[in-house]
Structure 1
Amino acid sequence: MAEFTMPSLGADMDEGTLLEWLVQPGDPVHKGDPVAVVETAKSTIEVECFETGTMAELLVDPGATVPVGTPLAVIGTSGEDGARKPRKRTARHARKKSEPTEPAPASPRPSPPPSAPPPSPAAEPEPMPATPVPAATPATVLHPGHLEAGPLLRHLAEHSGVDLEALRGTGPGGRVTRADVEKAAAARSAARPPRARATPLARRLAAELGVDLTTVAGTGTDSAVRAADVRQAAPGPATPVAPPRADARPAVERHATVPPSDDRAATMRRAIAALMSRANRDIPHYYLSTTVDMAASMNWLREHNRHSPVGERLLPAALLLKAAALAAREVPELNGSWTDNHFTAGEGVHLGVAVSLRGGGLVAPTLRDADALALPQLMAALKDMVTRARTGRLRGSEVSDATITVTNLGDQGVESVFGVIYPPQVALVGFGRVVDRPWAVDGLLGVRPVVTATLSADHRATDGAVGARYLTAVTRLLQNPEQL
């Protein structure tokens, strides 16, 4: 058996809220499969499984907030699951069989003291206790079967709202089987009005926006309605003015008292403030900057986009990110983390990309092995990641293990940015807007597109000479875009 625990989805995460389970007890799971949705102070994230096996038991209910490292579920791994369950059933069965057999030896013990003849009559009554047992009422026969029910069957019954004690088992000896529980659950579901499948976050959002979940087409597992589906189905700008409706008043009053979006933004801001305060306090930063001539890159980009389909065209950001990743591979002293008072080089270049969220705040999901991605692949991965970051659909593996982070504020009109390092990383690269500036080339003054590249680095891990090598590598790569 293996424990599935609340993962750490960032250096600033101390606890998380379990929003929903994407699997149930008895479901097979594979390494990398999303099994739960967790809400952190910054975002809503799908958490993947790190074991392959069968989901044996769910330990935490949706809606609960628990610290990082808290066991959320138990997974029966292949090999252990099959080996443990028979031993458990055997142990329980042995205990049950010992209970009726213990009184039998007790009767011969008191019988010898009176005289020798009693043992022979006492031997005849032994089959008599066995005779009434089959003749007992069905409840008496069924009760041991209920006790034989394994944990998966009990969890299935609990999840389905089925009372095991009220079931008549169809298995050997009157034992309740999985088919009995599923049949009872189906009958129970048929007896109650239909209820739309939706995540807890989607239900909360639907109540706030006045959306009828039964009219929303779900895109989640088994067509479950997700928060993104509710937002899409919500009315336009008129929605916030809907408070006058009587049936919506409780949600509106609650919204007016503690607006969920404002509360979430405040929580995120506090988390960012705590992490950045710690980073500024504990990390001795040094800063470098350089201005890069982007003429060769922009010319190459125009030619590439002219001969590419619309869906494969690139933005300058793709070139900047690829140059940052390749430079990190060339200067590995800046690609890794500072832990336990020493530097640990990263296994691969996993590029964290700062993404601003529409409701305020930011997250930094990870482009894994960014140095090995071709430019079209990197562009597609970037678009997909930014979209899912802003709709709360990131996965756990995408918000952890970054080895160096890039922040690009060029689309905001900023020409240079000096960022704060995201611990435990040791460097953060900043890019501004590509702008036209007077530029001297071979002694002649002209107008060229340029970009300001900056580096914030941890002085404990490196010094300015290493940082300068990194920015020099970035400059060389951007001036030779065919190497990207």
Structure 2
Amino acid sequence: MSDFLMPSLGADMEAGTLVEWMVSPGDRVEKGQVIAMVETAKGLIDVEVFESGVVEECYVTPDTKVPVGTPLARIGSADRVVAERPGAAVESAAAPGPATEEATPSGPAVKAPQRPGLSSAPDLGPKPKGDRLAASPAARRRASELGVELGSLAGSGPGGAIVLRDLERAAGEKLRPEHQRGGFDRDEMRQAIAASMSRAKREIPHYYLATTLDLHAADQWLENYNRDRPPEARLLMAALFMKATARALSRYPDLNGHYDELGFHPAERVHLGMAIHLRGGGLIAPALRDTETQDLLSLMRLLQDLVQRARRGGLRASELSSATATVTALGERGVDTVYGVIHPPQVAMIGFGSVRRRPLAVGDMLAIRPAVDVSLAADHRVCDGHLGALFLNEIDAQLQHPEAL
């Protein structure tokens, strides 16, 4: 049995608002299943559970803002059975204030443990009162904003209650941009970015390196690969950049991991974050998990899916908290070179600029070839410029043999 906590979705997150429960006490859940929706400065995030079991109790009501690390629910063993009795589905959590007393078999009543700052158990699936329709608070608020009649919708939440996803499904493309699930408060997001980047520049001793890569081999291979394939099966150069970077990080693990108060912890796998610009001025960097083991076509599809979900909503908590290094690419904006700021607790940021045809020395000759500037911002507490240079050279070496990616 363990508590399900408000997750940390980045070094800049201090608290989050529980918007909606997707489960009720008594429900069985599987590892990786989305069980709640949380609102942060980055928008609405699907939060998954990291163990299988049974939801025994929910501590926090929807529309409640709580600090990172606050227990949200209790997940019991999948072998346990929640008692079927009136009111058992929603048991009271210990509220702040005087502790309750419980009798023990061997002695007098003892005080039950308290959970500071938590209110009584939430009404997860609002029960109809008379003719009042069952709907979650978030769904009622969104329906009011959109002018949607709740009575016209079928509920998919606990007890048949109408939840936020039902509104989204019904409204579809009719939702105005500001009401899309991926919407965010621009000012709040800019404040979060400012806090994170200020911390990064204050605490992380950055060093920077950059070099120009000859993309002749990669460009020729990519052209041949895409020639006879339909649009949905074609690759972009970005997929090659991500895969080459992931392989280089596997070879140089001092650039792949997290740095905290106990020092540097290299990661076992490469979960490569991708900086994505959000319409309206935001920025988010979810991770492509196990990037180094993905084939190029799978990586291309995952990358496209990640960008779409980042902009319309639907990112998962694990995608926002697991990146071991991040890539930022501003080539589509016509920028030749980008120098990133490391996203704590990571220790490296890799930047790719525009792919342009440039004059390059090839042997003793001058040739016009596609090329790109790649940069590295790295944490001097973990490594120095010698290793950083080897890392950039490894990305170059990987791109010279695209057929092996």
Q: Report what 1:475 is aligned to.
A: 396
Q: Is the 8 A contact 1:261 1:359 kept in 2?
A: no
- How far has the Cα of 1:440 moved from its partner? 2.2
Q: In structure 1, the residue corresponding to 2:75 is in which secondary structure?
A: strand
Q: In structure 2, the residue corresponding to 1:469 is in which secondary structure?
A: helix
* TM-score, normalisation: structure 2: 0.82
Percent sequence identity is 50
Q: Which structure's residues are more often helix, by fraction?
A: 1
Q: Report what 1:358 is aligned to.
A: 279
Q: How far apart in 1 are the matches of 2:176 and 2:17?
A: 29
Q: Report what 1:245 is aligned to.
A: none
- The answer to whether 1:324 aligns with 2:245 is yes
Q: Report what 1:250 is aligned to.
A: none
Q: Report what 2:144 is aligned to.
A: 207
The residue type paired with residue 174 of structure 2 is A
Q: Say which is worse superposed, 58-67 or 409-418, in terms of deviation.
A: 409-418
Q: Indicate the structure whose relative CO is greater, using CA pairs within 8 Å and at least 6 residues apart.
A: 2
* Partner of residue 210 from structure 2, selected from 278, 289, 292: 289
Q: Report what 2:294 is aligned to.
A: 373
* TM-score, normalisation: structure 1: 0.70
Q: Is the 8 A contact 2:182 2:311 kept in 1?
A: no
* Partner of residue 88 from structure 2, selected from 152, 158, 167: 152
Q: Is the 8 A contact 1:202 1:230 kept in 2?
A: no
The residue type paired with residue 288 of structure 1 is L
Q: Report what 1:76 is aligned to.
A: 76
**Structure 2 residue ranges without an equivalent (≥5):** 93-126
Q: Report what 1:28 is aligned to.
A: 28
- How far has the Cα of 1:309 moved from its partner? 2.7
Q: Report what 1:307 is aligned to.
A: 228
Q: In structure 2, the residue corresponding to 1:349 is in which secondary structure?
A: coil
Q: Report what 2:41 is aligned to.
A: 41
Q: How far apart in 1 are the matches of 2:52 and 2:255?
A: 35
* Partner of residue 443 from structure 1, selected from 339, 345, 364: 364
Mapping of 1:367-446 within 5 angstroms? 367-446=288-367
Q: How far apart in 1 are the matches of 2:235 and 2:345?
A: 31
Q: How far apart in 1 are the matches of 2:268 and 2:339?
A: 26
Q: Report what 1:61 is aligned to.
A: 61
Q: Is the 8 A contact 1:433 1:452 kept in 2?
A: yes
Q: In structure 1, the residue corresponding to 2:224 is in which secondary structure?
A: helix
- How far has the Cα of 1:47 moved from its partner? 0.7
- How far has the Cα of 1:78 moved from its partner? 2.9
**Structure 1 residue ranges without an equivalent (≥5):** 87-147, 157-187, 241-254
Q: Is the 8 A contact 1:15 1:68 kept in 2?
A: yes
The residue type paired with residue 241 of structure 2 is L
Q: How far apart in 2 are the matches of 1:356 and 1:345?
A: 28
Root-mean-square deviation (CA, aligned residues, Å) is 3.0
Q: How far apart in 1 are the matches of 2:132 and 2:173?
A: 23
Q: Is the 8 A contact 1:268 1:361 kept in 2?
A: yes
Mapping of 1:180-219 within 5 angstroms? 189=128, 192=131, 200-201=137-138, 203-212=140-149
List structure 1 segments (4+ residues) > 3 angstroms apart after TM superposition.
148-151, 153-156, 188-191, 199-225, 227-233, 260-263
Q: Report what 1:9 is aligned to.
A: 9
Q: In structure 2, the residue corresponding to 1:298 is in which secondary structure?
A: helix
Q: Report what 2:191 is aligned to.
A: 270
- How far has the Cα of 1:230 moved from its partner? 6.8
Q: How far apart in 1 are the matches of 2:155 and 2:228?
A: 38
Cα deviation per residue 1:372-409 (whole Å; 9 max; x = unaligned)? 00000000111111111112211111111211111111
Q: Is the 8 A contact 2:57 2:90 kept in 1?
A: no
Q: In structure 2, the residue corresponding to 1:378 is in which secondary structure?
A: helix
Q: Is the 8 A contact 1:218 1:229 kept in 2?
A: no
Residues 35, 235 of structure 1: alpha-carbon distance in 2 compared, 3 angstrom cutoff:
closer
Residues 370, 56 of structure 1: alpha-carbon distance in 2 compared, 3 angstrom cutoff:
same
- How far has the Cα of 1:444 moved from its partner? 2.1
- How far has the Cα of 1:211 moved from its partner? 4.5
Q: How far apart in 2 are the matches of 1:310 and 1:450?
A: 24
Q: How far apart in 2 are the matches of 1:14 and 1:31?
A: 25
- How far has the Cα of 1:437 moved from its partner? 1.2
Q: How far apart in 2 are the matches of 1:356 and 1:191?
A: 47
- How far has the Cα of 1:202 moved from its partner? 5.2
Mapping of 1:200-279 within 5 angstroms? 200-201=137-138, 203-212=140-149, 224-226=163-165, 228-229=168-169, 232-234=172-174, 264-279=185-200
The residue type paired with residue 474 of structure 1 is I
Q: Is the 8 A contact 1:329 1:371 kept in 2?
A: yes
Q: Which structure's residues are more often strand, by fraction?
A: 2
The residue type paired with residue 370 of structure 2 is P
Tell me the number of residue pairs that the alignment of Structure 1 and Structure 2 aligns.
367
